[in-house]
Structure 1
Amino acid sequence: MDSITQAVLGAALQGTVLGRIQGRRSLVYGALLGTVPDLDVVIRYADPVSQMTYHRGFSHSIFVLTGLALLLAWLVNGLGRKYWPDKGYALPRLFLAFWLVLVTHPILDSFTVYGTQLFWPLQFTPQSWASVFIIDPVYTVPLLAAVLYAAFKGISGRALRLLSLALVFSTAYLGFGLAGRMAAEQRFQTALDQQGIVVSHVRAVPIAFNSLVWRVLAKTPDGDYYEGVSSAFDHDPPEMQRLALNLPLADAIAEAPLLQRLRWFTDDWLRYDEVDGALVVTDLRMGIPGNYTFRFNMAHRDAQGQWVAHTPTAWRGAGVGSMFNSHDLALIWRRILDQQPPLPLAAWTSKYLGQTAVPGR
């Protein structure tokens, strides 16, 4: 999630657990501690694939953060006994506060689609539960309001109740998002079944600042995929299109270590395109249909016309900013409540990818 959300979550948690001891300072300490796992962004890597796939790595490991929480609790407890003996610091309470603030950061990140290495150094596929968008006001605003109230009014009984209620609501909202994701996948699977389309994998991801309208992907056994959009308020089957993954292009650089790492990190939700002599690899999980956030130029043809992997570069037009086209977002938000007219999936694919899609039946 975004840094503001992580900061207010940390502030709410530490304020709830240590507010009666630390007062308003608990909100500041919690906000700062809640952003610590994202300090890995200061590490610079040689290429954008490494930058993407090593982010949310060791600094988001529940093992590393549990150790850090224990160390911080031991240090603060020692200082408290020496300098603030009347504060009532206790090692178990300190550990609980610091552990909650630190560990909820990567757990919350895991509820987005990006991918979080929650169990580093174990090489599990990064956790990507995709129940909320990376920025979601419905999750953040109640926490922010409760923290601001506590900051202005002090850590009183009412402030503690508001902080607790905001934490309960935000947690319930994550569950709501998971239920919405499963419902979207089921609607899409049902629509495919009704058309006699066989798929091997289906996954839904939320689109742009909400958990009501979902982009759904489904792989076919023959190397294509379906992409569509489904809302919680739909009464008719979702609109969809069929596109090629172009897997033979992947075979040409299959042994490239960074491609292997990217396949692992994304759980192999990748498509491949030859564009102007470049082999462009696209992470299908993030963005809107046709306009994806992470695209990489990973190979070129040599003098004999063979593909040669090179140090990846970001493909032009890709990046987080590509998601924030105001016209496209307006159509997506209208789509939450109204299926007609359907979203222009084929037009977006042609505009952003320069590809022709086969409309869903």
Structure 2
Amino acid sequence: MDSLTQAALGAAVGGAVLGRRLGRKAVLIGALLGTLPDLDVVLDYGDAVANVTEHRGFSHSLFVLTGLASLLALLCRRLAPARDISVGRWWAFFLLCLLTHPLLDALTTYGTQLWWPLAVAPVAYPIVFIIDPLYSLALLGGLLAALAGARVHRACAWGLTLAGAYLLFAAGAKLAVEQRLAPVLADRGLESAPRLVQPTPFNTLLWRATLIDGDDHYEALVGLFDGAVEPTLERYRRGVEWLPLAQSHPRGQRLAWFAGPFLRYEVRDHRGQETLIATDLRLGFPGFHPFAFSLASRAGDAWQPLPVSEQLQGPYPADGDRRQALARLASRLLGPEPPLCTSRFVAAEWLVEAPSHC
């Protein structure tokens, strides 16, 4: 999640745990602890693939943060004994303020490396977008009440309750969307295909489903207000003929560990050279994927891994098409019309099948 929301979450947790003892100081300290794990963004690993895949790594590890919470609790118990706060209470304060950060990140698309340093893929159960105004406002409302009044503990607890209720609603919405998708996938024989169901930006009313079946990549939008309209699938190519080349290099293997099968491969000209590019299909939409990485370039008849991977842009549709897509996406929140039809924004060589209404 964004840094403001993480600070608000840490502040609310801090106020709920030690607000009665420390007052507004608990809110302030909690806010600082809530943003602490994201300080890893200042680290530059010298490579675009490394920078993306190492983020939410060691600084979000349950092991590391539990150790840090224990150390801080012992220090506070030693340095501030007069406050009559037990070491167990300090430990709960630091632990909850720190751990709620990666646990919330695990509810977004890219997930979190909760079990670092174990070589386990990021944990992700996406039910909220990386920026969700309603979730953030629930926390901020409680914090404003805590800062304005005397009952810090109660106000923060109410903020956490409202934010938690919103997450429960989001989880229920995801289950409802998956149930609506099930018969469509059964008709296509895609019941066992790897899938990713996630909310579209800034809301939990409209959801995007991405499925992978060999070289095929399917997309669907499902809204809670779609009524009886059956979800439709748009079908694209993934360029799996380039998969062995990508997987023959460490960066390609790292991306596969990070994104699983949700990758597209292509060769296009970059700086005058034929370049192998891997695109993460999880964030954005077809035609609007922001995370693409250069992996290798052709020298004569041979492919060589690039010394440093770059994060590339586009190719994106024209500005007019972008505005049209955003307008259609906003309209889809409250009903099935107009269809987004992402196939309109994708190069013809990637499209396999578009629904008849597109």
Q: Structure 1 length normalisation: TM-score?
A: 0.90
Q: Does 1:94 align with 2:86?
A: no
> Which stretch of structure 1 is more off in the superposition, 332-341 or 52-61?
332-341
Question: Matches of 2:266 and 2:138 in 1, distance apart?
Answer: 43
Question: Matches of 2:173 and 2:132 in 1, distance apart?
Answer: 15
C-alpha spacing 1:318/1:20, structure 2 compared with 1 (3 Å) = farther
> Unaligned stretches of 5+ in structure 2?
none
Matched residue, 1:219 = 212
> Unaligned stretches of 5+ in structure 1?
none
Equivalenced residues, count: 346
Structure 1 residue 198, shift from structure 2 partner: 6.3
Match of 2:171, SS? Answer: helix
Structure 2 letter corresponding to 1:287? G
Question: Matches of 1:197 and 1:360 in 2, distance apart?
Answer: 17
Residue 161 of structure 1 is aligned with which of 154, 157, 163?
Answer: 154
Residue 144 of structure 1 is aligned with which of 140, 143, 148?
Answer: 140
Q: Does 1:358 align with 2:350?
A: no
Question: Matches of 1:28 and 1:181 in 2, distance apart?
Answer: 34
1:1-361 alignment, distance < 5 Å: 1-81=1-81, 85=82, 87-154=83-150, 156=151, 159-195=152-188, 200-220=193-213, 222-234=214-226, 235-276=228-269, 277-304=274-301, 306-310=302-306, 311-317=308-314, 327-350=324-347, 355-360=350-355
Mapped contact 1:346–1:357 kept (Cα < 8 A): no
Match of 2:334, SS? Answer: coil
> Which stretch of structure 1 is more off in the superposition, 123-132 or 168-177?
168-177
Structure 1 letter corresponding to 2:224? A
Question: Matches of 1:33 and 1:149 in 2, distance apart?
Answer: 20
Mapped contact 1:299–1:309 kept (Cα < 8 A): yes
Match of 2:121, SS? Answer: coil
C-alpha spacing 1:197/1:260, structure 2 compared with 1 (3 Å) = closer
Match of 1:288, SS? Answer: coil
Question: Matches of 2:94 and 2:139 in 1, distance apart?
Answer: 18
Mapped contact 1:239–1:342 kept (Cα < 8 A): no
Question: Matches of 2:26 and 2:202 in 1, distance apart?
Answer: 29
Structure 2 letter corresponding to 1:169? L
Mapped contact 2:142–2:156 kept (Cα < 8 A): yes
1:126-183 superposed Cα distances (whole Å, 9 cap, x missing partner): 01111100000111101111111211223x1xx4323212212212322322232233
Mapped contact 1:56–1:116 kept (Cα < 8 A): yes
Structure 1 letter corresponding to 2:353? V
